[in-house]
Amino acid sequence: AESPAPSARLPKLRDMFASRACRSAVMIGTALEKPQMRTIVGRLSQLDQPWNCPHGRPTLRHLLDLKALNEMHGPKHFASCAAANGASEEAGGVTCRRD
C-alpha cells in the first residue's frame, strides 16, 4: 500500500499540534501569579497572531477597570467615551484613549 503524500499528512499533523497546544495551555479560571502572567504576556507579544488558539478560540480578554478609569478621568469622561462607542457602563470592554 502506498503511503499518503507528505502534503496530505500536513493537515493531520497541524491538527495534532493544535490539540497538544490547547491541552497544555492555561485553562480559563486557573489562578496565576504575576510572574506567570508576565511570562505569558511576554510570549504572546512574540507571536504574529496572538489573538486566537490554533482552533480559532480567543486567547485574550479585554478588561476595563471602571474604578481606575473614573479615578483617572472622572465619571463624565467614561460616560462620554461609552456613548461615543455605543456602549453603556454595564457593557464593559469599551476602549477609550487618553487625550
Phi and psi at 58, nearest 5°, equal -65, 145
* Distance in angstroms (rounded) separating the CA atoms of residues 63 and 18: 26
Say what the pLDDT of residue 65 is: 72
Say what the pLDDT of residue 73 is: 72
The per-residue pLDDT for range 30-84, each reduced to its tens digit, is 999 999 999 988 988 898 888 888 888 888 776 667 677 777 776 665 566 656 5
Per-domain residue ranges of the chain: 1-60, 62-99
Cell triple for 89: 457602563
The per-residue pLDDT for range 61-76, each reduced to its tens digit, is 766 676 777 777 766 6
